[in-house]
Structure 1
Amino acid sequence: MTTGERQNKSAAADELASLSLAERIAARVATMSRAERRVAEFLRTRGSDAIFATAQQIGAATQTSDATVVRTAKTLGYSGLQELRHSLGKQVVAATSPLAQLRKRLERPGSQATSLLSQVFAEATDRLTETARRMADADFDLAVEAIANAREVIGIGVGPSELTARYLELKLNRMGRPARSTGATGFRLADDLLTLTGEDTLVLYWPTRLRNEMEVVLDHAQAVGARTVLMSDSLGPLIGDRVSVVLPAAHSAGDIVGEGMTTQVLTDAVLAGVRAHDERRATRAHELLTDLRTSLSQVNGPSQRRRR
């Protein structure tokens, strides 16, 4: 290694040393293997569990190996697992310190002059503002195109995110566009992926945590050539290179507003783009929906009820 290379390596190490774990992961995720990304995601979301865990235990939890755990720690700029655990410990101590706890109590609704309503609207505004700041027009256009040109759109969400996936399905169907949704996990998810083709688009509502079945979804989508739109707060850096486009849906530290709020608004924006993509198709579908509703209201009208 030349003197210049050693200096560059030292400068890169110094730069990483000043970053938090999450920032280190974002800076190095592009160079990580898939197994290393699983370890990094475990460290990011379950750091308190890793403080006293051995490399073997972390490897078992992430379905990797102890060597992968150590290699990930070094990739993130730590000398090894011991330094990484020490850094995680300091983060947990800082988060649970008396000063931090006092700050949390002061931020609770009703503890200050600011009303609960104002806090809710302030947090919602912050999330939407941050989402708009992080959004690239080109990425938004790609997402609209992927959905508008799909043979079928499949929304996938787990927990609260399933509600947004169902909403996407409902609104697309009302535009005359075939769509379905699922909140299935484990083996049940296989049935929803079975008919996926290269003409379809998956819309993935995956906010913050990388689950094991997500790897299967991404692998299968890539295998059949389906396009994928990821709506997420923080998974973009981890799996952004494995999806067609990432739309950031920012969360915030307050957690007063539900996690689905930002993705709901973002979904409405995408749906507006899809409608504009083919306004006549959406209008025809709306007219048919109105006709069907009118017919159904007549069937269930007063005269029909008297005949029963």
Structure 2
Amino acid sequence: MSTNPKPDLAVRTDTDPEDSLSARVENRLSAMPPAERRVAEYLRDHAQSVIFATAEEIGQAVGTSDATVVRTSKNLGYSGLPDLKRSIGQHMIHGTRPSVRLNQRIDGAGQETASLLDHVFSEAGERLTETLRLMPQDQFVRAVDILAGAREAVAFGMGLAELPARFLSMKLSRLGRPARLVGAAGFLLADGLLGLREQDAVVLYAPARRTREIDVVLDHAQSVGAQTILITDSLGSVLSGRVTVVLPAVHSATGYTAEGFSSLLVTDCLLLGVAAQDRDRATTGSELLRVLRSRLAPEGTDRGPRRRGSATKPTDR
């Protein structure tokens, strides 16, 4: 990262809400010590560069320590530098074209291929650490209980959010739990909601963008009495009154790591919790999966023990 980049003036606008970075700096700058004041002004004036930088790089650019950068972020009302980056990232998502964001990511990571590893893994660690920090343990336990007690789990996600939803439904089935994926948009969504019942659980993967489909799913779940688990980055405060449980899954501030990265890890935690509640059921499902896979193995491979007459020799295609 350059130690003296040009200010990202486009990030500062007269229409910034009161909770924006520039507004926070404006309100708190006079009360800050000199070193933190320099950091705060740098964060405000170089926001698009900051989002791709580490605390150490920011400190070097300002002439102070990485600890001062983290402390300044907290004094601005953020939980830390990752939280500040997420706030800037949300502004970029809504105000910058995707092609521009892609070029910014490439520039931020640098041209050296080896440096990409540091940037991507650094952000991955930040996302997981922040997700764990924000995770309310009592709500997580409640979510596990809801899934373990459901007649059927319905996993909903559209676009890239369909990936963790598909993962959840497949893994629950392997644990012996009835589950299915609903990932359709528009009129086709109605077909996926027809079988929803009061004893069911709906798991919605909705990172940051509220869609009409999300509202329809929540309205229908409420009408039939089904419980709902929302896994999200920023829709928790918007939809908390309409869902049973909200679990955080921190989004990428830079786009270096996949949208569903945090959601998948939260899903892994839920699945382990469900398996632990009924170990016999989970192991039975796992063993059945092994047996079925062995019957599908090509001829000549180790297919494991098989009951006589349980499968016929496949015909040539």
In the superposition, the TM-score normalised over structure 1's length comes to: 0.64
- Alignment of 1:170 onto 2:170: yes
Residue 144 of structure 1 corresponds to 144
> Equivalents in 1 of 2:19, 2:316: separation in Å?
74
- Counting only pairs closer than 5 Å after superposition, residues 142-291 of structure 1 correspond to structure 2 as 142-291=142-291
Extract unaligned runs of 5+ from structure 1.
1-16, 25-90
**Is the contact between residue 174 and residue 286 of structure 1 (CA under 8 Å) also seen in structure 2?**
yes
Deviation at 1:276, TM superposition (A): 0.5
Alpha-carbon offset, residue 159 of structure 1: 0.4
Q: Distance in 1 between matches of 2:188 and 2:313?
A: 42
Distance 2:139 2:314 in 1: 52
Q: Deviations over 1:60-110 (max 9, x none)?
A: xxxxxxxxxxxxxxxxxxxxxxxxxxxxxxx89xx88xxxx9xx5896222
- TM, length-normalised to structure 2: 0.62
Per-residue CA distance 1:17-76 (angstroms, 9 max, x = gap):
84339x99xxxxxxxxxxxxxxxxxxxxxxxxxxxxxxxxxxxxxxxxxxxxxxxxxxxx
Cα drift, residue 169 of structure 1: 1.0
The CA deviation at 1:198 is 0.6
**1:301 match:** 299
Distance 2:238 2:267 in 1: 22
How do residues 122-133 of structure 1 correspond to structure 2 at under 5 angstroms?
Answer: 122-133=122-133
Query: Does the 8 Å contact 1:105/1:111 carry over to 2?
Result: no
For each residue in 1:204-262, what CA deviation from the matched residue of structure 2 results, as whole angstroms up to 9, or x when unmatched? 00110110122111111111100000000000000111000000000132111111111
Query: Which structure carries more helix by proportion?
Result: 1
- The alpha-carbon distance between structure 1 residues 114 and 229, as it changes in their structure 2 partners (threshold 3 A), is same
- Letter paired with 1:158: M
CA RMSD of aligned residues (A): 3.0
1:171 Cα offset (Å):
0.4
Name 1:119's counterpart in structure 2: 119
| C-alpha separation in 1, matches of 2:269 and 2:105 | 36
Helix, strand or coil at the partner of 1:163:
helix
Alignment of 1:37-116 (within 5 A): 108-110=108-110, 115-116=115-116
